[in-house]
Amino acid sequence: MIATSFGSVQNRITDHLLTPIRHHLTAMIEPGTTVLEAGCRSGDLLFRAAPKIHRGLGLDLNPAMIREAHRRRASCALRHVDFVHQDPAEMRAHLTPRFDFAAVTLCLHSMAYDQAVESLQRMFQVADRLVVAELDQPQTRRATWRMEIDEWTAGHYSQFRTFRRKGWFPAMVETAGLHILRSHKTEVDGIRIFEIV
């Protein structure tokens, strides 16, 4: 019970901290597009974008997050947005409909490195435009400590350490055989938004 309560509180805090990131991503989505988001958590990005998108699909590895997204969807009566418990690396490009816009939101650093690279490649294959919000080298000591504590309490510190040791997200993009077109600084020290080609 304590772990569940802690996880719930941690998720609410995380969602609150991600608000400026989600605003930035929502602004990048063109009206009338189809949107795929990996690492959708409780669906906040797709709910924010729902009034201007044609269709949205959110993926997350955490079944509790998907249940919460379904609960929120039912309360809003949205039919053009859906959520699935799935690893993006398991998507098959020939079976998946193509999307206009795909976003990967702060999940690659929490996966095994090879799995994250494969997920990045798969997302690139199924979308016309790929945008990734991911951890980046913090600029302040305070942000560095916050990131260390967040990753340790989230339970994937080992994966985060590998991600950091290998060169953060730019190195992962290179490993995937892709390129960064441009990156955007966000209001959160240690998180950047990358446009991938």
Q: Is 46 left (phi over 0), alpha (psi -120 to 50) or beta?
A: alpha
Compute the distance between CA of residue 85 and CA of residue 107 in angstroms, rounded to an integer. Answer: 14
Confidence of residue 140 (pLDDT cuts 50, 70, 90): very high
Residue range 16-52, pLDDT digits in tens: 678 899 999 999 999 999 999 999 999 999 999 999 9
At 88, is the pLDDT very low, low, confident or very high (cuts 50, 70, 90)? confident
Check which CATH number belongs to the domain holding 122 and give it: 3.40.50.150
- Cβ neighbourhood burial of 182 (10 Å; 0-12, 13-18, 19+): exposed
* Measured CA distances, 180 to 2, 6, 8, 81 (Å): 41, 36, 34, 28
Give the per-residue pLDDT at 2: 39
Tokens representing 140 are: 């302040």
Dist. CA 137–CA 147, nearest whole Å? 10
Does 169 map to a domain? Answer: yes
In the chain, % helix, strand, coil (3-state, to 5) comes to 50, 20, 25
Does residue 192 sit within a domain? Answer: yes
Q: How many domains does the structure of the chain reveal?
A: 1
- Segment 168-193, tens digit of pLDDT: 999 999 999 999 999 999 999 999 99
In a domain, 80, yes or no: yes
Pairing of strands 99-105, 180-185: unpaired
Residue 3 within any structural domain of the chain: no
Residue pair 38/103 in contact (Cβ under 8 Å)? The answer is yes
Instruction: Tell me which DSSP letter residue 179 carries.
Output: -
DSSP one-letter code for 108: G
Question: Is 162 a member of any domain?
Answer: yes
Q: Which among 69, 75, 37 has a CA at the least distance from the CA of 53?
A: 37
First to last CA, the chain: 44
* Structural domain that includes position 89: 18-196
Assigned domain for 9 exists: no
Residue 10 within any structural domain of the chain: no
Q: Is residue 4 part of a domain?
A: no
Q: Which residues pair with 102 in a beta bridge?
A: 36, 130
d(CA 75, CA 78): 8
Contacts of 128 (CB under 8 A, 6+ apart): 98, 99, 100, 101
pTM of this prediction? 0.88
